[in-house]
Chain A
Amino acid sequence: MATDTKKDVQAKGKVKKFFTSPARITIAIAGLFFIIALVESLTGATDISSPGTSGATLRFAIPLLMAGLGGLWAERAGVINIGLEGMMIVGTWTAAWFGYLHGPLMGFVAAAIFGLASGFFHAILTVKIGIDQAVSGLAINLIAAGGARYLSGVFFPPVGGDRTVSPPVDSFPTFTIPIIAPVLESIDAQNIFFISNLAGILHGLTKDVSLVTIALLLLVPLTSWILWRSKFGLRMRFSGENPMAAESLGINVYHIRYIAISISGMLASLGGAYLALVASSVYREGQTAGRGFIGLATVIFGNWKPSGVFAGSILFGFTDALRVRQSESVMSLILVGGIVAAVLTLYYSISRQWKPGAISAVIMLVAIWIHQRVDVIPQEFVTVFPNFATLIVLTFLAQRLTPPAMAGMPYRRGSE
Chain B
Amino acid sequence: MNDRARNIKVMNRFDLTCRLVARLTQEEAVIGGIGNTNFDLWAAGQRPQNFYMLGSMGLACPIALGVALAQPQRRVFALEGDGSLLMQLGCLATIATLAPKNLAIIVMDNGIYQITGSQPTPARQADIVAIATGCGMANCHWAADEEDFERLVDLALAATGPVLIAARIDDKPGVGATRRDPAQIRERFMQGLGVRQPIGWTSPEGTVLPDGH
**A and B from one assembly?**
no
B interface residues, Cβ below 8 angstroms from A: none
A interface residues, Cβ below 8 angstroms from B: none
